[in-house]
Amino acid sequence: MSVFAIPFFYSKMPIIIQNIAVSLGGLRLHHTRKGKMFYKTKADIDRIVALKEDEISAWQLDKVKKIVAYAYHHVPFYRKRFDGIGFRPDDLRSWEDYRQLPFTTKNDLTEHETEIVSTRVKKSMCFPVYTTGTTGKPRPILTTRDAVVAHYAHFSKIIEMRGIDTDSRWVRFGGTKIVPEHQKKSPFWRYNYFEKQMYMSIRHISRKTVKDYIDALNRFRPVYINGFPSVLSVLAGWLCENNLRGPSSLRLIICDSESILPDQRKLIESAFSCKVLDYYGMAEKVVFMAQCEKGNYHVYPTYGAAEFISEDMKPVISGLGMIVGTTLVNNATPLIRYMTEDIARVTPSCECGMGGQPVSDIEGRMGDFVYTPSGKIISPTLMEFCMRNVRNAKKVMVEQDDIKMLTVHFYPDREFSQDEADDFVHVARELTDNEIEIRTVVHPEPPPKTIKYRFVLSRIARQSHWNKALGSNNPTH
Ligand SMILES: [Zn+2]
């Protein structure tokens, strides 16, 4: 989510004026986020998560009924769709009834961009929040101010649960064009004084500039940092390589927007000497999950109603399932049974005692999985095992365009040897049961610049029930 709208003349301003502009934008955001609604939402979260399982379920069903009725009456897309199947809001009496409702897909968002928005909200009072992804076209999701506040309240809550005051100094690594693209010299960050935040541009991080970033972090002394795991692991790698330490003030790193790979987590935690807390949320605002102390993710019932659906469209109690959700926070685009295309590994229970269906891992997006001709699905987390002996590559990317062929791109460091590539292929062959031909390409040029790095990118048009439900053979593109 961007910090604020950047005026077109911003890049021409002196840095000090840019800092003031960022702070003023931040002040507006601060008032939005930290108003009455913010504290009310946080109190609601506390109250609801403390309830018993069946009480949470009843509370949530009531909320779901309300949002479904609201969508029926005020969202042309849903009115048409529900009328089409002869469904009236009064027909929704139980979770069983709810599970009969049709899914909403990413295609629906694109094809019905205006009809999927509520006619009840004042558009000028809402914000467009863009969905992220390297391959799919970002789609704007019209979002109410209250939904922005609700998101921020959940974000604050999970940090506070780790004993940290969210009013402390913090750093956000983000992709908002807050530092002009052409700027070659530090500072690649701006200050938002009212939020006690330093906003660091991820667009300017490179081998040349990384030391500037670390020095600035050490000067600023943040208590918590929030960013993408791929970006933070680049900084962590540089710290380790040069035997340096991050700021000693740091107590927590909060990762979001990408599934975090086990090696990335290990690297970040050891380089910065503090814990990583990962959470799952998205612009569509249908599901919010965050890690507990035991490392599992728990669904926050106050944000959205979540389901996990297997490839044969059954509820998952244990194993891989697609995350499907209904928003309880965003009235502007009230998505119902929205198929996120993100895959989670559901686990039957968690020792921490928190309610809600626990998830042991968020495995990535559908397009992040390698598929074999015999039907095996290999998650990016599993593919990460191929990296065990690859020590000298700046970046490795796995691409699958054909069910029988995998291309592995290596962007080597000076010390890189062919043995490392061979070892990768050896492990990948084991994982794919020798069903796929594996080709390696060693690139002399630096890795491509992307905002979000995806270790695995699969473009397989695979016939599956998920895909059928998504109404396309190739939903991720
Ligand atoms: Zn737990």
pLDDT tens across 55-80, in order?
999 999 999 999 999 999 999 999 99
Q: What pLDDT band is residue 187 in, cutting at 50, 70 and 90? A: very high
**Is residue 211 in some structural domain?**
no
Asked if pLDDT for residue 275 goes beyond 90, the answer is yes
Map tokens 């095992």 to a residue: 385
**Is residue 104 in some structural domain?**
yes
**Is residue 71 in some structural domain?**
yes
- Answer positive or negative: Cα dihedral of 190, 195, 197, 201: negative
Which of 337, 363, 389 is where one domain is finished? Answer: 363
CA of residue 49 to ligand 1 center, whole Å: 13
CA of residue 104 to ligand 1 center, whole Å: 29
**C-alpha to C-alpha distances, 260 to 156, 178, 250, 267, 475, nearest whole angstrom:** 20, 25, 20, 11, 22
Do 383 and 288 lie in one domain? The reply is: no
Do 344 and 232 lie in one domain? The reply is: yes
CATH number for the domain that contains residue 294: 3.40.50.12780
Do 151 and 113 lie in one domain? The reply is: yes
CA of residue 44 to ligand 1 center, whole Å: 20
CA of residue 97 to ligand 1 center, whole Å: 29
- pTM for this entry: 0.80
CA atoms of 276 and 252, how far apart (whole Å): 6
**Is residue 18 in some structural domain?**
no
Asked if pLDDT for residue 405 goes beyond 80, the answer is yes
Asked if pLDDT for residue 322 goes beyond 70, the answer is yes
CATH number for the domain that contains residue 452: 3.30.300.30
CA of residue 216 to ligand 1 center, whole Å: 35
pLDDT value for 55:
95
Do 134 and 234 lie in one domain? The reply is: yes
Do 384 and 329 lie in one domain? The reply is: no
Find, among 306, 338, 335, the residue nearest to 67 by Cα.
Answer: 335
CA of residue 290 to ligand 1 center, whole Å: 9
Residue 187, preceding peptide bond in cis (omega within 30° of 0): yes
**Is residue 465 in some structural domain?**
yes
Q: Which domain holds residue 382?
A: 369-470
3-state helix, strand, coil in the chain (%, to 5): 35, 20, 40
CA of residue 322 to ligand 1 center, whole Å: 20
CA of residue 354 to ligand 1 center, whole Å: 6
Asked if pLDDT for residue 135 goes beyond 50, the answer is no
Do 346 and 421 lie in one domain? The reply is: no
Do 307 and 393 lie in one domain? The reply is: no
The per-residue b/e assignment along 131-166, b for 16 or more CB within 10 angstroms, e otherwise, is bbbeebeebebbbbbbbbbbbbbbbbbbbeeeebeb
- Answer positive or negative: Cα dihedral of 405, 449, 279, 261: positive
* CB atoms near residue 307 (< 10 Å): 21
Task: Give the chain's end-to-end CA distance (angstroms, integer).
Answer: 22
Asked if pLDDT for residue 477 goes beyond 50, the answer is no
Tokens matching residue 461: 């048009």
* CB atoms near residue 14 (< 10 Å): 8
**Is residue 241 in some structural domain?**
yes
CA of residue 357 to ligand 1 center, whole Å: 9
Which of 328, 363, 398 is where one domain is finished? Answer: 363
CA atoms of 369 and 371, how far apart (whole Å): 6
- The beta strand positions in 168-294, using DSSP E, are 170-174, 189-192, 197-201, 224-227, 252-255, 275-280, 289-291
Which of 329, 363, 397 is where one domain is finished? Answer: 363
**Is residue 203 in some structural domain?**
no
Asked if pLDDT for residue 148 goes beyond 50, the answer is yes
pLDDT value for 367:
66
Region of 293 on the Ramachandran plot (φ > 0 left; ψ -120 to 50 alpha; else beta): alpha
Do 432 and 288 lie in one domain? The reply is: no
pLDDT value for 373:
83
CA atoms of 191 and 196, how far apart (whole Å): 8
More confident residue, 274 or 130: 274
Do 289 and 338 lie in one domain? The reply is: yes
Number of domains making up the chain: 2
Do 39 and 149 lie in one domain? The reply is: yes
Do 339 and 450 lie in one domain? The reply is: no
Looking at the chain, how many residues does it have?
477
Q: What is the mean pLDDT of the chain?
A: 86
* Per-residue model confidence as pLDDT tens digits over 29-39: 776 777 788 99
Do 131 and 279 lie in one domain? The reply is: yes
Asked if pLDDT for residue 188 goes beyond 70, the answer is yes
Q: What pLDDT band is residue 8 in, cutting at 50, 70 and 90? A: low
Above pLDDT 70, what percent of the chain?
90
Residue 356 contacts residue 56 (beta carbons within 8 Å): yes
CA of residue 291 to ligand 1 center, whole Å: 7
CA of residue 300 to ligand 1 center, whole Å: 12
